[in-house]
Amino acid sequence: MQETQTFSVEKIELTPNPRSVKFILNQTVLDEGSKTIEEGGFLEVDAFAHNIFALDIVDMVYLRENFVSVTLTSADLWVIFKDKVKNIIEADLGKYEEGDNEVSASILKDFDMEKYPQLSDDEKVIIVEAVLDESVRPALANDGGGLEVIEVDGQIVRIRYQGACGGCPSSTGGTLRVIENHLRSQLDPEIKVHTYT
């Protein structure tokens, strides 16, 4: 759950996704990992989530480190609602004690990458998560987004974009190829990455 804390928005940045805006905070909202908030869930016990979704124009909220990325149903709505979203962040956001499950990149220190193709699919998920944590997720976070590994099925890695990356035109093309090429060079040249919606 959330700790009571007062946040200030220090900077507002546009992202590559025109429907998403990144609100950079004066302190960390999440010490590690990331958190995606969508309609439903724990809105009744989370004042920030309840009030942001009460606007009835928010698709998704993504939190990581010291920022909140908010995705609206239409890019045109930002002209009207940017200050309202900022006010809700500053009035209702509290620090989250824990994010969604992510794997520590430190497990890669002792892992022999050549053994990756022989792992079970469940073991492959852990290694793929660690590689993404180490190199890909920090880059996506710079643009207010992230990604979730849905599953690994043999050489197929299925991911879902989060935050500003969800629905962004570049995420389905260039970004997807960069992620695929990175996993191929790190783990297995036969890996194919697909998005899951």
3-state secondary structure 127-168: HHHHHHHHHHHHHHHHCCEEEEEEEEECCEEEEEEEECCCCC
The residue behind tokens 């022989």 is 118
Over range 166-176, report the average pLDDT: 73
Last residue of a domain, one of 96, 124, 141: 96
Are both 62 and 142 inside the same structural domain?
no
Number of H helices, E strands in the chain: 5, 10
Q: What is the CATH number of the domain that holds 54?
A: 3.30.1370.70
Q: Give the number of C-alpha atoms closer than 13 A to the C-alpha of residue 95, restricted to the C-beta side.
A: 16
Over range 65-75, report the average pLDDT: 91
**pLDDT at residue 131 is higher than 70:** yes
Distance CA 161, CA 159 (A): 7
Report the pLDDT value the prediction gives residue 190, as an integer from 0 to 100. Answer: 94
Whether this prediction's pTM lies above 0.75 is answered by: no
Tell me the pLDDT band of 111, cut-offs 50, 70 and 90. confident
Return mean pLDDT, the chain.
85
Report the pLDDT value the prediction gives residue 52, as an integer from 0 to 100. Answer: 93
Are both 68 and 140 inside the same structural domain?
no
Report the pLDDT value the prediction gives residue 42, as an integer from 0 to 100. Answer: 59
Are both 113 and 72 inside the same structural domain?
no
Q: What tokens appear for 128 in the block?
A: 């793929």
Are both 81 and 125 inside the same structural domain?
no
Tell me the pLDDT band of 104, cut-offs 50, 70 and 90. low
Report the pLDDT value the prediction gives residue 83, as an integer from 0 to 100. Answer: 96
Report the pLDDT value the prediction gives residue 159, as an integer from 0 to 100. Answer: 92
In the chain, the N- to C-terminal Cα span, in Å, equals: 27
pLDDT digits (tens, 9 = 90+) for 74-97: 999 999 999 999 999 999 999 988
- Tell me the residue range of the domain where 17 lies: 2-96
**pLDDT at residue 1 is higher than 60:** no
Are both 87 and 109 inside the same structural domain?
no
Is 106 or 125 the better-scoring residue by pLDDT?
A: 125
Query: What distances in angstroms separate CA 60 from CA 23, 73, 109, 116, 145, one per listed residue?
Result: 14, 9, 34, 34, 11
Query: Domain total for the chain?
Result: 2
Last residue of a domain, one of 79, 96, 113: 96
Over range 8-13, report the average pLDDT: 94
Q: What is the CATH number of the domain that holds 127?
A: 3.30.300.130
Tell me the pLDDT band of 130, cut-offs 50, 70 and 90. confident
